[in-house]
Structure 1
C-alpha cells in the first residue's frame, strides 16, 4: 500500500515499502504538531528570553538569521526523507551518502545524546517551575519523573495515541505563548508595562549581536523529528516538507512576539540573569494570574517535547537496528500496537539518568541545553553533507522534493552551523564545560561506533551502502 499521488520507480523512494505494515495515522495536522511541539520547549522559552535580555530588540536580528538557517536544514531533511523514506532517518540517509561511521555518530550525537541532555533539562525546568509556583506542594523531582513515566507508557500504546496527544499539546502551547506575547504587545495585561522605552537602545550589543545566532538557533532545532515518522504518514510528499516549513515559521512568529512582549514588562538585566525568565514575564504581565498561564505553558511544553522525543527517537533506533547499526533488540515491536517498545524504554532510561545526578540544580539547565545544541548542530552539518554527496552519487534519481536553489542552502547551512558552534557559549566561563560535556559524550559514541562497525557489522567505516540495498531492507 502506498500513496497514489506519489509516482516513483521502484525500488527507490516512497514506492518501496518496508515489510512492517505501515499505519498511516499521521496527517498534516499531526506532523505540524510534531514540528512545533518538540521545538517550542521550556528550554526554548528560557534561552530566547535570556537572549532578549542580553540584546534587547536587537535579538530579533539573530532570531531572523536562525530562522533562515532552520529553513536550510528543513529543505535538506525534506529531500532526504522523501528520497530514502525510512524510520532510521539521518542514519539511513548518511550510510548511503557517507558511510556507517558518520551515520551512527550523527544519529546518536544529534538525537540520542540530545535526548539525554535536552529532555533532562526540560524535566528539571518543569519541576523548578511547579515548585516555584506551588512551593512545597510536591516532593522534589516527583513531577519530572511522573511526566517521564506517563509519556513512556502512552508511547508504548502506539502512534495513534501519540498523534492525538501531540496535536492537543502543541495547540495549547502555541496559543498560550501567543496569548502572552500579544497581551504584552497590545498592553492587555493586568499589570503596568515598564515606563522605559525599549527602542531607545534597541541593540546595545551592536555588531556583536551576531554572536547570539548560536543561542537563537536553539529556538528552531527539532522540526525534522517528523522525518522518522515518514513510514506512518499520509501523503508524505506534501506533508513532510510543508509541516516543517510551516512549523518553523509559526515558531519564528511566536518567539518574536514572546520576546518583544517580555522586554515591555521585564528589565533586560533580569531576563538575562534569571534561570526562570518566563516566570518573571508571566507574573509581570498578569500578576498572580500569570502563574496559571506559566504552569499551563510549562506543562504543555515539557509534555509535548517528551512526547515527541519518545515517539521519534525510538523509531530512529528501530531503523538503525534494521540497518544493523544498533542492537537488534531495538527492532522488537509490541504485538498489539506495533510500537518499538525496547527503544522507547531505552530512550526513557537515558533521559532519566542526568536527572538523577543533577537533581534540581538550575545551573545545570543552561549547560545541558547548550551541550545538546553542539551535538545537534553537528548532526545538521552531516545532513547537509548527505544532500551534496547524494546529488553527486545519484544525480538522476527521482526526488519527490528537491532543495530550491541547490547547493546554496546546504553551503549556507554548513557555514552557519559551524559559526554557531564556535559561538555557542554566551559566557566565557561556560565554554569549557559545554565543549567538555559534548566532547566527552561524542568521543564515547565514536569509540563505540568504531567497535560496532568493525567487530559486529564487519564493514568499512566510510564506504557508503548502495541506495537500492538500503531501500530494500525489511
Structure 2
C-alpha cells in the first residue's frame, strides 16, 4: 500500500518556468562580479572568454538534454549516473551535486546581502550593515516558499528572472550607442596574449552553471521529455547572448583596464558613464545594483529548488535517509529535502569563506559535468534501444569534447581547492560505507524479527 509521502511530485511547471530556472541560476551575481575580473585577466578578449565558455557548456548541455529525455526523473546528473553506474559512483555524484548546489546557495545569499546593503545605502546612507542577517532572512523566505508550493516558487522564479533580464536589456540598449570601438584595441593583453584566455575561462566558468538545475525538476515539468531539452537550450541561448552583449557594452564604454580595476562593481561603474537617471530608482548604477539584488535572489531560489531535488532523489533511492525522498502529504513538495538543504546553506553562510565556496562549486561542477558526459556514452552502450526523444547530433564528438574541455578548465583551478575537494569526496566515501552498513544491519534485523514465531 502506498503512502502519501511516497507519491511522485506533481507536474506544475511549464516550459517558461523550467527555462527560467536555468536562466535564473546562470544569470546570478556572476555577470556583475566576474565581468571586471575577466577584463583584468584577458583584456577586451573577455568577450571571447564568455563566448568560448558558452561553447564548452553546450557540449555538456547536449548530454543533459539526451539523458533528460531518456530518463525523465528528478535528480538531474545524479539520476542519470544512478541509472548507468554502481551505487558507490552514483552516491558520490549525488553527494557532490548536492553539496555544490547548497554551497552555491550560501554564495548567492551572501551575494544578495552585500548587494542589498549597497542598494539600501544609495538611499539611506546611515542604514545598518547587517549582511549575515539579510542572508539568513532571504534563505528562510525562499525555503518557506519552496516548502509550501512548487508552483509558487517556480512562478516567483519566472517573475524575478524576467525582471532582471529587463534591467540588463535596458543597460544594453543604452550602452550599444555609447560603445567606443577603440576600447577593443589591442584586443588581447600584450603581456601573454591568448595565453590569458584559458585562465580567464576557468575564472568565469561558474557563471555558466545553472542550466543543469532544470534537469533536477524533471518530474515537476509538463511533458518533460520534450520540454526539458528545450528549456536547457533556451536558457543557455538566452544567457550566452545576454552575457556577450553586457560584456561588450561594459568594455566598449569603460575600457578593459578601468573595468578590471573596478572589480566587482565593474558593470555598475560602466552604467554610471552612459545611463540616464530613472524615476524613483535614480542613477544607472543604482539600477544595476537593483538588478544585482534580483539576480542573486533568482539564483538562490533556483539552487534551493535544485539542491532539494537531488536530496529527494537520493532519499527515494535509499542512498540517504528515506525521509528525504518523501513528498509532503499537504504541500506536495519534498519538504524534508528542502529543509535539509537549507540547513547546510545556512551553515555555509555562517562559517565558510565566500572565495572557497565559489572555487569548490566550480570544481565540483566541472567534475560532475565530466561524469554526465561519460554517463551518456555508457548508457548508449548499455541500452542502445532505449527511447531517446532527443539524441545528441554528431555523437560521440560532443560528449568527448565536453570531457576533454572540462578537464582542461579543471587544471586551472588552484591545488588548494583540489585538496579540499578530494577531502570532501573522501568524507563522502566514509558516509557511504557507514550508511550501507546501517541499511544492511537494519535489513537483517527486520528480516530476523519477521522470522520469529508470533506469540500465541
Shorter-chain TM-score category?
Answer: 0.7 to 0.9
Q: How far apart are 1:421 and its partner, in Å?
A: 0.6
Correspondences of 1:246-395 after superposition (within 5 Å): 246-273=234-261, 274-286=263-275, 289-358=283-352, 364-395=353-384
Change (3 A) 1:270 1:101: farther
SS at the partner of 2:73?
coil
Change (3 A) 1:285 1:120: farther
Q: Is residue 37–residue 170 contact of structure 1 (8 Å, CA) maintained in 2?
A: yes
Partner of 1:226: 214
Q: How far apart are 1:21 and its partner, in Å?
A: 4.7
Q: How far apart are 1:334 and its partner, in Å?
A: 2.0
- The whole-number CA distance in structure 1 between the counterparts of 2:440 and 2:64 is 26
Partner of 1:151: 142
One of 371, 382, 400 as aligned partner of 1:411: 400
Change (3 A) 1:333 1:19: closer
Q: How far apart are 1:291 and its partner, in Å?
A: 3.5
- The whole-number CA distance in structure 2 between the counterparts of 1:40 and 1:169 is 11
Partner of 1:132: 118
Structure 1 runs not aligned, ≥5 long: 1-17, 188-192, 359-363, 425-430, 459-474
Moved over 6 A (4+): none
- The whole-number CA distance in structure 1 between the counterparts of 2:401 and 2:60 is 10
Q: How far apart are 1:22 and its partner, in Å?
A: 4.9
Q: Is residue 315–residue 324 contact of structure 2 (8 Å, CA) maintained in 1?
A: yes
Partner of 2:185: 200
TM-score normalized by the length of structure 2:
0.86
Q: How far apart are 1:138 and its partner, in Å?
A: 3.6
Q: Is residue 101–residue 306 contact of structure 2 (8 Å, CA) maintained in 1?
A: no
SS at the partner of 1:406?
coil
Of Structure 1 and Structure 2, the greater helix share is in: 2
**2:45 equivalent to 1:58:** yes
- The whole-number CA distance in structure 2 between the counterparts of 1:101 and 1:284 is 54
Correspondences of 1:97-116 after superposition (within 5 Å): 97-110=84-97, 112-116=98-102
**2:31 equivalent to 1:37:** no
- The whole-number CA distance in structure 2 between the counterparts of 1:416 and 1:450 is 32
Structure 2 runs not aligned, ≥5 long: 442-456
Q: How far apart are 1:270 and its partner, in Å?
A: 4.2
**2:72 equivalent to 1:82:** no
Q: How far apart are 1:383 and its partner, in Å?
A: 0.4
- The whole-number CA distance in structure 2 between the counterparts of 1:24 and 1:339 is 11
One of 172, 175, 198 as aligned partner of 2:163: 172
Q: Which moved further from structure 2: 100-109 or 377-386?
A: 100-109
- The whole-number CA distance in structure 2 between the counterparts of 1:255 and 1:219 is 9
- The whole-number CA distance in structure 1 between the counterparts of 2:415 and 2:57 is 26
Q: How far apart are 1:202 and its partner, in Å?
A: 1.3
Change (3 A) 1:33 1:267: same
| RMSD, aligned CA | 2.3
Q: How far apart are 1:236 and its partner, in Å?
A: 1.6
Change (3 A) 1:457 1:162: farther
One of 39, 58, 74 as aligned partner of 1:71: 58
Partner of 1:421: 410
After superposition, what is the alpha-carbon deviation per residue over 1:100-121, rounded to whole angstroms, capped at 9, x for unaligned?
A: 12212112213x2223432222
Q: Is residue 43–residue 125 contact of structure 1 (8 Å, CA) maintained in 2?
A: no
Q: How far apart are 1:267 and its partner, in Å?
A: 4.3
Partner of 1:461: none
Partner of 1:8: none
- The whole-number CA distance in structure 2 between the counterparts of 1:455 and 1:183 is 61
Q: Which moved further from structure 2: 273-282 or 145-154?
A: 273-282
* Structure with bigger gyration radius: 2
Partner of 1:46: 33
TM-score normalized by the length of structure 1:
0.83
After superposition, what is the alpha-carbon deviation per residue over 1:402-461, rounded to whole angstroms, capped at 9, x for unaligned?
A: 11111111100000100011013xxxxxx2443344333233223222333455369xxx
Q: How far apart are 1:19 and its partner, in Å?
A: 6.8
Partner of 1:27: 14
Change (3 A) 1:53 1:181: farther
- The whole-number CA distance in structure 2 between the counterparts of 1:319 and 1:147 is 25
